[in-house]
Structure 1
Amino acid sequence: MATLHLLSHSPFADSRLASCLQLLAAEDALLLTGDAVYALQAGTAQRQALESMPASIALYALEEDIRARALSALPERLKVIDYAGFVEQCCRYDRTNAWL
């Protein structure tokens, strides 16, 4: 069963991102929202961890949150989505796990 993992907290505040990355299965996906998009900042260990994920794991981020934080130089593998895309991904995966 493929799972969509949702992260919204800053990866610099706690270990949720690291914990999530350890549990991702081959067909899972990770969607970054809110302050979790800071993990996409170039030159950080969090960005390196995201880029090191297996290619079979999809990586998404909300466009609105990326723009609100003025992030640029995003990873090539990242799929930037809007809220309609968010809903689409929630319906696509068997399960959704929000890392609260």
Structure 2
Amino acid sequence: MTFLILILFLLSFPLLSLSAPRKPPPLPILPIPSASQLQWQLPPMAIFFHFGPNTFTNSEWGSGHADPSVFNPTLLDASQWIRVAKDAGFSRVEALIYRER
């Protein structure tokens, strides 16, 4: 019997929310920004390229002792990177080309 009362009590909670008084939303604070102002405030999407000797040595962190001749990008098409970034909606590109000490 106690279990049945508990179940009925728990099932009545959604009904309580229906009877709660509804408050109107607050009035906007003037001036309201225009659509172009709201668009301007959106953060730009940026893409980050890290390209250096470690790209060719298959290591995440370099020691600075890699042979410099390993870094010889002969078929690099950086324009392709930019095209793909623009097609994906990025508006900013940052490239870190070399980071050895």
TM-score (norm 1): 0.27
Higher strand share goes to which structure?
1
TM-score (norm 2): 0.27
